[in-house]
Amino acid sequence: MLAVVLVGGFGTRLRPLTLSKPKQMLPVGQVTMLERVVAKLAAAGVTQVILSLGYQPDAFLEEFPDGMCAGVNMHYAVEPEPLDTAGAIRFAANHAGITERFFAVNGDVLTDLDLAGLWAAHESFGGEATLALTPVEDPSRYGVVPIDSAGRVEAFIEKPPAGTAPSNWINAGTYVLEPSIFDRIPANGRVSIERETFPAIVADKALYGMHSDAYWIDAGTPEAYLQAHLDLIDGVRGAPEECVDSSATVHSDAVVSRSMIGPGVHIEAGAQVVDSVVMSNCRVGAGAQISRSILGGGCSVGESSSLSDLSIVGFDQDLGAGTVSVGGRFPSPETW
């Protein structure tokens, strides 16, 4: 089985972290986000992944120089300009010569959903595409997808205004597609699968959806990225994962609780790191308090600083002693 994985977006909601690295190259626990997505596909029997690259493609090539990730061979398709989701799938599939049924997934979705079950559901529906659907409380930042009792999609409404969604079941960013879908996607320029291709297939009554209650999160916002870590640490997805790297040094007077601590991190005396992500080689100075915040790799937080409420420190930033931040960004958005 083949899978196209979309990883070419700018990751704007995770800036300033994504100014330095594409979103899918950020760590989730001890491995990259991409590795989790590919491992999930591999477990379902996918033997080749076509990476649909756009923003900072070299980061992927450097991380996986032999083209192998989670034991799966990856084909790199670098688009010449951002083609949006359908344009990117068409470009990548064409680049890799796909002529058979395939998976396509958003590269920022972490899930335990049953991919083999989705493939089987697609075969029994007999449509042109089948989407996994997951329930969320606020559907307004997603594609909303009501289906009828036979599983046929009635409408595909991308990011409806708050309070107007006809359903709480949303597009889980995980599809089985027939190659005939390429005939619907113009060869040049940007095409959105959510706003153009799926609504066109709905009009032809050939789009199907499969409900799933399995664990699912789109890790593309600061809050969700942090939550993805807390879920691993808390064991929401099975056995809790160890998220403190063995090469990190945590002073005996420091407190680390419910946090991801990457390789080579130093946490000094009296510091407290709670419900946070601290990427590789950061320094957390003596007495600093980090709560519900994300520190990009190589950064330094000065003594007695206080960072809380989804503060985000970009890669290699140096925060002076006594810095106080409630939901702040370093560097600040004016410089992006």
Contact 23, 108 (CB under 8 A): yes
Identified binder of ligand GDD from the candidate list 83, 254, 278, 312, rule CB under 6 A: 83
Taking every pair of Cα atoms in the chain, the longest distance, rounded to a whole number of angstroms, is 64
Which of ligand GDD, Mg ion, none does residue 194 bind to, with CB < 5 to 8 Å depending on kind? Answer: ligand GDD
Residue 178 binds Mg ion, judged by CB under 5 A: no
Which of ligand GDD, Mg ion, none does residue 54 bind to, with CB < 5 to 8 Å depending on kind? Answer: ligand GDD
Residue placing its CB nearer to ligand GDD in the complex, 101 or 141: 141
Which of ligand GDD, Mg ion, none does residue 83 bind to, with CB < 5 to 8 Å depending on kind? Answer: ligand GDD
Measured distance CA(72)–CA(243) in Å, rounded: 24
> How big is the chain by its Cα radius of gyration, in Å?
21
CB of 221 to Mg ion, least distance (A): 8
CA 88: distance to chain centroid? 17
Residue placing its CB nearer to ligand GDD in the complex, 51 or 307: 51
DSSP 85-116: HHHHHHHHHHHHT--S-EEEEETTEEE---HH
Identified binder of ligand GDD from the candidate list 16, 29, 54, 285, rule CB under 6 A: 54
Which of Mg ion, ligand GDD, none does residue 20 bind to, with CB < 5 to 8 Å depending on kind? Answer: none
Measured distance CA(89)–CA(93) in Å, rounded: 6
Residue 84 binds Mg ion, judged by CB under 5 A: no
Residue placing its CB nearer to Mg ion in the complex, 194 or 196: 194
CB of 32 to ligand GDD, least distance (A): 13
Residue 52 binds ligand GDD, judged by CB under 6 A: yes
Residue 29 binds Mg ion, judged by CB under 5 A: no
Measured distance CA(52)–CA(44) in Å, rounded: 20
Segment contacting ligand GDD (CB under 6 A): 64-72, 111-119, 170-178, 315-323?
Answer: 170-178
- Which residue, 194, 83, 113, 207, is CA-closest to 154? 207
Which of ligand GDD, Mg ion, none does residue 278 bind to, with CB < 5 to 8 Å depending on kind? Answer: none
Contact 210, 226 (CB under 8 A): no
Terminal alpha carbon distance of the chain: 40
- 10 Å CB burial of residue 204 (0-12, 13-18, 19+) is exposed
Mask: binding to ligand GDD, 111-150, rule CB under 6 A, as x and -?
A: -------------------------------xx-------
Residue 35 binds ligand GDD, judged by CB under 6 A: no
Residue 108 binds Mg ion, judged by CB under 5 A: yes
- Amino acid at residue number 289: Q
- The string over 69-107, giving b where at least 16 C-beta atoms fall within 10 Å of a residue's C-beta and e elsewhere, is bbebebbbbbbeeebbbbbbbbbbbebbebeeebbbbbb
Residue 79 binds ligand GDD, judged by CB under 6 A: yes
Mention every residue, 6+ apart, whose C-beta is less than 8 A from residue 320. 302, 305
Residue 220 binds ligand GDD, judged by CB under 6 A: yes
Residue 323 binds ligand GDD, judged by CB under 6 A: no
Site residues for ligand GDD per CB under 6 A: 6-9, 52, 54, 79, 82-85, 88, 106-109, 142-143, 158, 170-171, 173, 194, 218, 220
Site residues for Mg ion per CB under 5 A: 108, 218, 220
